[in-house]
């Protein structure tokens, strides 16, 4: 009887621990419902080379943003070095959103979050392709 009770308690503890790990690692997709038609205008600023590029294809931008996954808030991105890429979106309702992929972080309106690497890297690469196309 004691062995069965101990096994039941242990099983419940393992399940609770698994649930806690899942909840702590589950990500959020802040742009999952973004429709390109909601974006009135957009640009991206890259530093270096300290240039801003107007984005004319908001469909492609929206697709990249939909893939972004953020996790827990983390302000340690300020300790990292690298190219700064900041997308500024002006929405149809007049609000502005600043989004900056900065692997392994994503900065959304000035708040840093841990992020999934691949979607964030794809967004940074997209910004550099836009810069290269404008320079060509």
Alpha-carbon dihedral of residues 42, 47, 52, 55, nearest 10 degrees?
A: -40
Taking the C-alpha atoms of residue 91 and residue 97, their distance in angstroms, rounded to an integer, is 8
Taking the C-alpha atoms of residue 52 and residue 127, their distance in angstroms, rounded to an integer, is 10
Owner of token pair 């999952």: 32
pTM of the model: 0.81
**pLDDT tens, per residue, the chain with 136 residues:** 677 776 666 655 555 554 444 444 469 999 999 999 999 999 999 999 999 999 999 999 999 999 999 999 999 998 888 899 999 999 999 999 999 999 999 999 999 999 999 999 999 999 999 999 988 7
Q: Which tokens sit at 136?
A: 């060509």
Strand order in the sheet with 84-91: 51-55, 39-47, 84-91, 96-102, 105-108, 111-115, 70-73
Judging by beta carbons within 10 Å of its beta carbon (0-12, 13-18, 19+), is residue 40 exposed, middle or buried? middle
- Inter-CA distances, 116 with 16, 57, 73, 82, 100, Å: 25, 24, 13, 17, 13
């Amino acid at each position: 009887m004691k062995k069965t009770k101990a096994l039941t308690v242990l099983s419940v503890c393992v399940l609770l621990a698994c649930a806690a790990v899942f909840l702590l690692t589950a990500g959020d997709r802040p742009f999952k419902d973004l429709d390109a038609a909601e974006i009135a205008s957009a640009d991206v600023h890259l530093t270096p080379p300290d240039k801003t590029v107007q984005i004319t294809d908001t469909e492609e931008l929206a697709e990249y943003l939909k893939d972004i996954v953020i996790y827990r808030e983390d302000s340690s991105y300020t300790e990292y070095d690298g190219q700064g890429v900041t997308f500024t979106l002006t929405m149809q309702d007049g609000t502005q959103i600043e989004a900056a992929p900065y692997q392994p972080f994503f900065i959304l309106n000035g708040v840093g979050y841990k992020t999934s690497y691949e979607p964030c890297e794809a967004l940074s690469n997209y910004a550099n392709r836009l810069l290269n196309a404008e320079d060509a």
